[in-house]
Amino acid sequence: MFDVCLLGTGGMMPLPNRWLTACFMRYAGTSLLIDCGEGTQITMRLQGWSFKAIDYILFTHYHGDHISGLPGLLLTIGNSGRTEPVTLIGPRNLRRVVEGLLLIAPDLPFPIQYLELNGDTPVLELKDLVVTPFRADHGMPCFGYSVEIRRKPRFLPEKAKALGIPLPFWKELQKGNTVEHEGAIYEPSMVLGEARRGLKVCYCTDSRPRDSIVNGVKAADLFICEGMYGEEEKQTKAKEYRHMTFQEAATMAKQANVKELWLTHFSPSLITPYQYLDEARRIFPNTKVGKDRMTKVLKFADEENAGVTE
């Protein structure tokens, strides 16, 4: 199961019922956090999810509402007894920004590894999670992220038996490796079934709409996207500050043919985002307004239906 939780849904400043932006994902023992705004520790504790288990922290960009919670979180991870490295990933200048913040969080008991995204955006294999950054448009280096679980084709033992392939070689073929034995060459395609659909969750905040986002989130099972403003009359302001409206996020979801859209990163002035939900749903019907600790459990197509906790 692939767990996704919106830890914070606010933009710019925290509110009593809305902490700053952060999203937590976990699968098969790997935990990943995207952004770390103020209040991230509080919602994680309320959710009951482990600080110690966080392996990767990704940043869309370095405005304070996306990174201000990092020093305290790293201290808490250290106090949890973690000694294994934690990997931080983000746009250029990541190390410089984080090392400045760590002046108030020195002597961590675990090493920090840095991966800065420059130029071309590589596909990152983070244990069982495949992360593909895509460029956003916020007037400063900014990325969204596609997080995928890719499934190998099913191994067909009956085919392996019929071909007389020795049992010790089955595992290598299942991994996708070619095996040569006593002059015979066995290809994975000989014993693997059709490709199986995996899972894809995408996250993007602080951007104007652009093709790189649509391409990056294409066919996602869940697209989490900023809806800084619900009011159509805020369109001029959205353009000026490089943000999106509900309608623009819904239009990208429709263009990308995603299954579900969650809106997040609301302006402090947007007290009741549900008031504008119908306008987004007229464009993309399966749109939901995000709220802190909103959680979804995604399962593969051949498993039972996923569930959402709101």
Q: What is the mean pLDDT of the chain?
A: 92
User: Which tens digit of pLDDT belongs to each residue from 82-132?
Assistant: 999 999 999 999 999 999 999 999 899 999 999 999 867 789 999 999 999
Categorize the per-residue pLDDT at 307 as very low, low, confident or very high, splitting at 50, 70 and 90.
low
Where are any strands of DSSP class E within 176-298?
179-181, 184-186, 196-204, 222-226, 261-264, 287-289, 294-298
Q: What is the largest CA-CA distance in the chain?
A: 73
Active site residue 65: yes
pLDDT of 81 > 60? The answer is yes
pLDDT of 309 > 70? The answer is no
**pLDDT score recorded for residue 306:** 47
Q: Are 33 and 24 in contact (CB under 8 A)?
A: yes
d(C-alpha 144, C-alpha 134), whole Å:
5
d(C-alpha 24, C-alpha 13), whole Å:
20
Secondary structure element (H or E) that encloses residue 64, with its range:
helix 64-67
CB-side neighbour CA atoms (13 Å) of 285: 0
Sign of the CA dihedral 133, 135, 136, 140? positive
Which 3 state secondary structure label does DSSP give 41? helix
Which 3 state secondary structure label does DSSP give 174? helix
Categorize the per-residue pLDDT at 68 as very low, low, confident or very high, splitting at 50, 70 and 90.
very high
User: Which tens digit of pLDDT belongs to each residue from 5-52?
Assistant: 999 999 999 999 999 999 999 999 999 999 999 999 999 999 999 999
What are the structural domains of the chain? 2-153+194-309 (3.60.15.10), 154-193 (no CATH)
Q: Are 297 and 47 in contact (CB under 8 A)?
A: no
Which 3 state secondary structure label does DSSP give 98? helix
d(C-alpha 192, C-alpha 163), whole Å:
13
What residue numbers does the annotated binding site for Zn(2+) cover?
Answer: 61, 63, 65-66, 138, 206, 265
Q: Are 279 and 230 in contact (CB under 8 A)?
A: yes
d(C-alpha 299, C-alpha 222), whole Å:
12
The residue type of 233 is E
User: Which tens digit of pLDDT belongs to each residue from 178-199?
Assistant: 988 888 888 888 888 877 889 9
Q: Are 51 and 145 in contact (CB under 8 A)?
A: no
Task: From the candidates 35, 55, 65, 221, give the one annotated as an active-site residue.
Answer: 65
What residue numbers does the annotated binding site cover?
Answer: 61, 63, 65-66, 138, 206, 265
Within its chain, how far is the Cα of 285 from the centroid? 22
